[in-house]
């Protein structure tokens, strides 16, 4: 994928859709800059429930991921989407579900602390816009938490 193709896909993840186009483009640029491409093979685990990890998130660019909820129910998540955000809003900082690749899946893996620092250091993103970004991610995490409790 080219940088422009990455930005286009990243800009279409549900967590960013509520942001204005300019802000969505800025956030997409930051995520593409700080992330590393990684392919997960079908059956490979991205995140395991109750595990602590290195504070990573992933943007699903292509493929399908499977999220196993607390009840054992499985939800299939097609690209594009964001994974790993729930840990950021979870008091015990542990993974709330197991996420594995249902099909071969292309992702951009990043560290949340790098994302937050890049937002704070970007002079074109105001404090109000940073709050809007946090609100967008918090909103998607709240929806997913309700789904997990099923």
- The pLDDT of residue 142 is 75
CATH of domain 3-149: 2.60.120.10
CA distance 26 to 79: 20
Which pLDDT tens digits describe the chain residue by residue (150 residues)?
887 888 888 888 888 888 999 999 999 999 999 999 999 999 999 988 888 767 899 999 999 999 987 777 888 999 999 988 766 666 666 777 889 999 999 999 999 899 999 999 999 999 999 999 988 888 877 777 776 665
Q: Is 68 exposed, middle or buried (0-12, 13-18, 19+ CB in 10 A)?
A: middle
- The pLDDT of residue 46 is 94
Q: Cβ(101)–Cβ(40) under 8 Å? A: yes
- The pLDDT of residue 11 is 86
- The pLDDT of residue 7 is 84
- The pLDDT of residue 62 is 96
The pTM score is: 0.88
HEC states along the chain? CCHHHHHHHHCCCHHHCCCCHHHHHHHHHHHHHHCEEEEECCCCEEECCCCCCCCEEEEEEECEEEEECCCCCEEEEECCEEECCHHHHCCCCCCCCEEEECCCEEEEEEEHHHHHHHHHHCCCCCHHHHHHHHHHHHHHHHHHHHHHHC
- The pLDDT of residue 150 is 59
What residue spans define the domains of the chain? 3-149
State the greatest distance between any 2 C-alpha atoms of the chain, in Å, as a whole number. Answer: 44
- The pLDDT of residue 6 is 85
């Amino acid at each position: 994928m080219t940088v422009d193709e990455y930005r286009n896909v990243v800009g279409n993840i549900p967590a960013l859709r509520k942001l204005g186009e300019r802000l969505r483009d800025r956030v997409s640029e930051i995520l593409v800059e700080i992330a590393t491409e990684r392919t997960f093979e079908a059956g490979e685990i991205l995140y395991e429930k109750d595990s602590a990890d290195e504070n990573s998130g992933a943007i699903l660019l292509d493929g399908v991921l499977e999220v196993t909820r607390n009840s054992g129910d499985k939800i299939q998540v097609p690209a594009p989407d964001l994974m790993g955000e729930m840990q950021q809003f979870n008091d015990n900082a542990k993974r709330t579900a197991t996420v594995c690749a249902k099909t071969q899946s292309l992702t951009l893996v990043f560290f949340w602390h790098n994302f937050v620092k890049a937002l704070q250091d970007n002079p074109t993103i105001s404090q109000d816009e940073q709050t809007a970004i946090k609100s967008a991610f918090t909103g998607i995490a709240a929806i997913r938490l309700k789904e997990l409790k099923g």
